[in-house]
Structure 1
Amino acid sequence: MKLVLATSNKGKVREIKHIYEDMDVVAYSDIIEPFEIEENGSTFKENALIKARAVFEALHDKDVIVIADDSGISVDALGGEPGIYSARYAGVDASDKDNLYKLVDALKEKGLTSSKAHYTAAIAIVTKDAEFSIHGWMYGDVITEPRGENGFGYDPIFIPEGYKKTLGELDDETKKGLSHRSQALKHTKSVLRSISKHTI
């Protein structure tokens, strides 16, 4: 089964390919010129569907299956921020480090060195016949001292429940079993297999 990912984020592409080792996975930006998609939804689910629909339409291929992810981190002490704005928390063209340090600074401004937090991932599937959405979550704490070089985004400051290391310090195999995106993608796999049985 060939899946087209509605992302050009190398970290996400690598993670999804790692989980879907038995499938033919390609980033849409390897097929067509990347284009700007306005993520104007109010939830992770809405934004994931917006991305998947946009790429499906742009590919002009009715037989393709497009999956998109919208994910982010919500920090309790910051009232749930950055949430759906995680990828652009420090501005539209912000880097991962810019976003991370804005969150760190926001906690420090409150006199905190840590806070409860959770990641959310929404996966959208768009085909010629139907649309689906699946969610996954990961709970833990954020800290103000980044640790580890593994992963991307806010990984160096997030410690999953039951662990002492940040996601930036954990190996890929451990993260594969933990992450919000992994949880959502595993459930998505069942939906994709069901789709393939009905389209073959």
Structure 2
Amino acid sequence: MIRLFKVKEKQRAEHANGTAHIKKQSAGELRLHKDLTTRDSLSLSLSLCVNLVDIGELNLPKTCSISFPNGKDDLMNFEVTIRPDEGYYLGGTFTFSFQVPPVYPHEPPKVKCKTKVYHPNIDLEGNVCLNILREDWKPVLNINTIIYGLYHLFTQPNYEDPLNHDAAAVLRDNPKMFESNVRRAMAGGYVGQTLFPRCM
């Protein structure tokens, strides 16, 4: 018979003495690790830029990549770069930061666009209007779903649920002018009074 109380006491003593080396993972970290690793439990390669098609569960377009700027010890904070291969944003490079809460998947990650972009669904502070990051989030969804949603925002921006109301109005009323504004912004120019950094 295993003496569970003795095992617990030993673990507490090791922790108090600083000899315990095993970091306890939160449920969110365990789920995120599952989202990021392959189906046959191979470890995730944590190079600075990992192609998402090579990560098993993250079966995404070749136009997306993931990086871990804080290294392999911080899986809960990472960046995703999207390079749309069609639509208004063709040729642009857009980076998003992901902060995954310890209670993931019961709460969605906090996602911000680090690239200043002229977009109806992304405001100038980088906030993203994507329903699955808010009211439509469910624990069965995962990082893969979010990245596909972000990619979809670039291939089919939605003027009906805007964060940038000016960009949404232009897209709705004058798609040709919207396309011109997007090109100008991505090239590093002004749209109205706002200067956008080059992202092509």
Shorter-chain TM-score above 0.5: no
Query: Which of these two proteins has the greater Rg computed from alpha carbons?
Result: 2
